[in-house]
Amino acid sequence: MARKRLDSYLVPGKHIHLIGIGGVSMRPLGLVLRGMGMKVTGSDMNSSVSTDELISKGIEVKIGHNASNIEGADCIIRTAAAHNDNPEIAAARAMGIPVFERAQAWGVIMREYKNAICISGTHGKTTTTSMVTHIFMEAEKDPTVMLGGYLPLLKAGHRVGNGETIIMESCEYCDSFLNFYPTIAIINNVEADHLDYFKDLEAVQRSFRKFAGLVPRTGYVIANGDDENTVQALTDLNYLSFGMDEKNDIHPAKLSEDCRSFDILIFGKLYCHVDLKVFGRHNVYNALAAAASAYVMGIEGEFVSRGLGAFTGAGRRMEYKGSFSGADVYDDYAHHPGELHALIDSVRLMGYKRIILAFQPHTYTRTKALFDDFVAELKRVDVAVLGEIYAAREQNKVGISSRDLAKKVPGSVFFDTLPEVGAYLHAIATEGDIILTVGAGDIYKAGEMLVK
């Protein structure tokens, strides 16, 4: 019997069960599917703020994975972290209930929209997606939004709108964005990352090239013309380029020293003026990409100015947490050397006496693959405080520790646990410091201990 396609299940009245429903992309998926008229249930390893929210909105969530959880389901949608040995997946296979991937579900949902703006890149996805959201909300386009983080404007990481546009953060890990149907594809940059899945940089570039190839002829690819890896990946393809260099279709003029005030020129003409509330050259790139998506959609420059001007950052993206002993405490999600570099550059523009960076590397494979680059970045701050590597989906098969990084960074310190990191920051914080808790794991807790 031919296997039915997922779109035949995502219809009102069907029962969809989500494995890993508390995840950053799974929770909004559950809420969107429920909004479309389906019965949604789910399971997750641990209870969390996310699972509490789903339960409060009437979705049944079981904590722990168990074969009985899938009872009555027409199909299963799983998070990338749920493997075939998961008892619910094993039970579904035995019972002939089809199992689909999260990205496939978002792909089906996307086809319901006339415009699908998909924001990709090794770095800057969440911030750029947030900026696009701000602009489209300002222009009253009533978009549906899916973000990999929290956006204060939405008081959430997602939004279900009634307009013709879906704005979607699109990740290359496991080629998941190749399940999407973009009418506008943004590529911020391309670097060697997720090397537990991709063999090397060339494999990453091939994936982004395929992603650009998903856009129909009537759509647009918008890509960073200053980024060599991106330009290489898109050789011979048509795209709108953005960047600092004036050779790009979209570039800034009259850029202020702190990178927050500039004009945006498109094909040599003034499109709008922007005064950003966020620091850093990388945020100029993010703003140019967001403005380009608005431009091709026929949105007037004044909405771009207002939308970008109102953007104060996404959750865990240079997020101000409070102050302690005269030091300001910020949290950031950077977990790749390129992101660390951009973060440190932007913080240097802020005029603090000392930069104290508490860093928790994310996954063993990434730490090993990019070890020397991490060392180079950690040497650029005044004080580097290292927490142990956050395992995420991995086991330590490569035998690496943050202790190894600390040995290579003069003056740095290493601690096994987050309470020890928090206690050390507590002891050294003084007037004029900026304390950054950085990483994609739970390092933010160390900063929260301080400001509490």
pLDDT, one tens digit per residue, over 349-393 is: 999 999 999 999 999 999 999 999 999 999 999 999 999 999 987
Residue (of 72, 24, 69) closest to 50 by Cα position: 24
Q: How far is CA 137 from CA 124, 140, 153, 156, 288, in A?
A: 20, 5, 9, 14, 17
Tell me what the pLDDT averaged over the chain comes to: 95
The mean pLDDT of 320-330, rounded to a whole number, is 95
The number of distinct structural domains making up the chain is 3
pLDDT of residue 80: 80
What confidence tier does 68 reach under pLDDT thresholds 50, 70, 90? very high
Q: What is the pLDDT of residues 285-299, one digit of tens each?
A: 999 999 999 999 999
Looking at the predicted structure, is the pLDDT value of residue 109 above 90? yes
- DSSP class of residue 68 equals G
| 124, part of any domain | yes
| 314, part of any domain | no
pLDDT of residue 36: 85
pLDDT of residue 3: 57
| Domain stops at, among 105, 134, 151 | 105
Residue (of 402, 398, 355, 349) closest to 375 by Cα position: 402
| 11, part of any domain | yes
Looking at the predicted structure, is the pLDDT value of residue 266 above 70? yes
What the block records as the tokens of 182 is 């973009």
Close Cβ partners of 430 (under 8 Å, ≥ 6 residues apart): 325, 326, 327, 354
Looking at the predicted structure, is the pLDDT value of residue 1 above 80? no
CA distance linking residue 441 with residue 383, whole number of Å: 20
Shared-domain flag, residues 430 and 331? yes
CA distance linking residue 149 with residue 109, whole number of Å: 20
Could you give the strand order of the β-sheet that contains 115-120, starting from the edge strand earlier in sequence?
Answer: 156-159, 144-151, 165-169, 115-120, 184-187, 220-224, 240-242, 250-253, 261-266, 269-275
Domain range for 37 is 6-105
Looking at the predicted structure, is the pLDDT value of residue 2 above 50? no
pLDDT of residue 93: 95
pLDDT of residue 330: 96
| Domain stops at, among 105, 129, 152 | 105
pLDDT of residue 192: 86
What confidence tier does 326 reach under pLDDT thresholds 50, 70, 90? very high
| 1, part of any domain | no
Shared-domain flag, residues 400 and 438? yes
The mean pLDDT of 321-337, rounded to a whole number, is 95
pLDDT of residue 195: 82
CA distance linking residue 404 with residue 364, whole number of Å: 12
The mean pLDDT of 262-272, rounded to a whole number, is 98
| 338, part of any domain | yes
Shared-domain flag, residues 92 and 211? no
Shared-domain flag, residues 169 and 260? yes
Q: What is the pLDDT of residues 117-176, one digit of tens each?
A: 999 999 999 999 999 999 999 999 999 999 988 899 998 888 989 999 999 999 998 899
Amino acid at 422: G
What confidence tier does 317 reach under pLDDT thresholds 50, 70, 90? confident
The mean pLDDT of 19-40, rounded to a whole number, is 90
Shared-domain flag, residues 336 and 424? yes
What the block records as the tokens of 291 is 């403005």
The mean pLDDT of 411-420, rounded to a whole number, is 97
Shared-domain flag, residues 161 and 192? yes
Q: What is the pLDDT of residues 215-238, one digit of tens each?
A: 999 999 999 999 999 999 999 999
